[in-house]
Structure 1
Amino acid sequence: MLKAIVIDDELFAREELIEQLNEIGHIDIIAECGNAIDGLKQINILKPDVVFLDIQMPRITGMELISMLDPETMPNIVFVTAYDEFAVKAFEDNAFDYLLKPIEPARLQKTIKRLIQADKKQDLTPLSQPDIDLIPCSGHNRILLLPSNEIEVASIQASGVELLSKTEKACTQLTLKVLEEKTPLIRCHRQFLINPHFIREIKLHENGTSEIVTQNGHIAQVSRRYLKEIKERLGIHH
């Protein structure tokens, strides 16, 4: 049985697809989500084999969600779309599986068969976006979309990856690796990223450790490995 998550903002479309999948068998639906932010969280927690992903969703689209996942742990993706010639061309050029709404049972059956037989993971890089402008975060009883250029520090904490901006402190499901690759943040420590635009000072301590203080007073640890690089970026050569 393949473990699957269905992500679609239309309840009716979601229910219909789940019903069809249950009839065909071989697929165990472990979660269903009405938006990409919940989807991202469930993918990270449940680690499905396959995700049936609607492309046109409000706030964060299916394509943006792909860009937020770590390529190393990425599940197989079956795109679900109302007819869109650009999307379909992109999928066909890269041999990705897609289902057109309304979904035909025969086509779905073919897709399931292909998924069961698939021995290698898809490479979704051609569809992944190079930059992420809005970072989905969850705070106290709220979901926040934080512009990536406003984030001053990202760090690994007990609660997950914590982001600090001038006014916000929130947790995201994105990994430091994805944030480092797709936002203005750069690595300054194994557990910290910093936005170079917000560096106010670098404090060098007697014991050889260092820390960065941002314009709004946030602190990020700096390890020796990255200190030289950061000084060079800021034009400090001593």
Structure 2
Amino acid sequence: MSAPLRVLIVDDEPLARQRLKDLLAEAPDMALVGECRNGNEAIAAIGSERPDLVLLDVQMPGQDGFGVLRALPPGHAPAVIFVTAHREFAVQAFEANALDYLLKPFDRERFRTSLARARDRRRAAPSSLDSELLARLESLTLPKPAAPYVTRLVAKVGWRMRFLQVEDIDYLTAEGNYVAVHVGKQSHLTRETMAALEEKLDPKQFLRAHRSLIVRLDRIEEVEPLPPGEYVFILRDGTRLTSGRSYRAQVQRALELPT
């Protein structure tokens, strides 16, 4: 028989950790190697214990679940099942290659289904030696492809997720912990930072013109310079947006304005 899957539990709620431990105890091929109360503990435990599977909460003090994954060295992340009471992070979880997204409260059968996915993942995975050799060969022989820019964004609409085509977006503005994506007369909130969205959007199509503004270049119909080094963009529909003074140079480059 193969060795049991080594499992790490990460959740800031003691009762939630206890329930996961009780359910894991019913699976003889699963071995609990530790439990963590926050993201920082999880990062340290993953480095020291090298678990095969992490049952990971999303919202925790300090580093959240996605922050934990970002902090791990490339190629060394274990399989992850997100366990959370927040359904709005499901799309982001699967974009992070999570095995499953367990929404609290869940029953015993649903938990067993998640563990079955972890078992299937292990059976389908190549040996660690093969993976390491393949990674080394690829790093020596293949250039790393540039990350493709996204063609759609995901916005939260009540309990649902709405997909917004990038080609339909007029501009984006920061709204507290969210970014408002403006499409015509409608706006939709997405839980991403302006910096993250700037990385995902093609700079040939979108311009970061303010710390709180990204605008689609082909929507700009007129530009009015302001004395302090700012610019007013007048979009096709008449919307007026103002750039930030510190973004003056990149606005001039993107729009080929005189310096």
- TM-score between the two structures when normalised by the length of structure 1: 0.52
* 1:15-51 C-alpha deviation (Å, 9 max, x unpaired): 9xx7469861524599xxxxxxxxxxx4699702357
Tell me, yes or no, if structure 1 residue 224 matches structure 2 residue 245: yes
Tell me, yes or no, if structure 1 residue 26 matches structure 2 residue 34: yes
Contact residue 160 and residue 173 of structure 1 kept, 8 A: yes
Tell me, yes or no, if structure 1 residue 47 matches structure 2 residue 54: no
Question: Which structure 2 residues correspond to residues 32-71 of structure 1 after superposition, within 5 A?
Answer: 42=58, 47-48=64-65, 49=68, 52=80, 65-66=95-96
Counterpart of 1:47 in structure 2: which amino acid?
Answer: D
* CA drift at 1:101: 4.2
Unaligned runs of 5+ in 2: 1-7, 12-19, 39-57, 70-78, 83-89, 101-116, 129-143
Query: Cα gap change, 1:25/1:141 in structure 2, threshold over 3 Å: closer, same or farther?
Result: same
Question: Which structure 2 residues correspond to residues 33-112 of structure 1 after superposition, within 5 A?
Answer: 42=58, 47-48=64-65, 49=68, 52=80, 65-66=95-96, 80=99, 101-102=119-120
Q: Distance in 2 between matches of 1:134 and 1:27?
A: 37
Contact residue 137 and residue 172 of structure 1 kept, 8 A: yes
- TM-score between the two structures when normalised by the length of structure 2: 0.48
Which residue in the other structure is 1:145 paired with?
163
Query: Cα gap change, 1:178/1:204 in structure 2, threshold over 3 Å: closer, same or farther?
Result: same
Query: Cα gap change, 1:237/1:205 in structure 2, threshold over 3 Å: closer, same or farther?
Result: closer
Tell me, yes or no, if structure 1 residue 203 matches structure 2 residue 224: yes
Q: Distance in 1 between matches of 2:229 and 2:174?
A: 22
Contact residue 164 and residue 218 of structure 1 kept, 8 A: no
Which residue in the other structure is 1:192 paired with?
213
Aligned length: 166
Counterpart of 1:200 in structure 2: which amino acid?
Answer: E
Structure with bigger gyration radius: 2
Unaligned runs of 5+ in 1: 5-14, 31-41, 67-76, 82-98, 111-125
Which residue in the other structure is 1:164 paired with?
182
* 1:112-145 C-alpha deviation (Å, 9 max, x unpaired): xxxxxxxxxxxxxx79943121111013454211
Which residue in the other structure is 1:132 paired with?
150
Which residue in the other structure is 2:10 paired with?
3
Contact residue 177 and residue 193 of structure 2 kept, 8 A: no
Query: Cα gap change, 1:209/1:237 in structure 2, threshold over 3 Å: closer, same or farther?
Result: closer
% identical equivalent positions: 13
* CA drift at 1:193: 1.1
Stretch moving more, 18-27 or 142-151: 18-27
Q: Distance in 2 between matches of 1:163 and 1:218?
A: 14
Query: Cα gap change, 1:62/1:133 in structure 2, threshold over 3 Å: closer, same or farther?
Result: farther
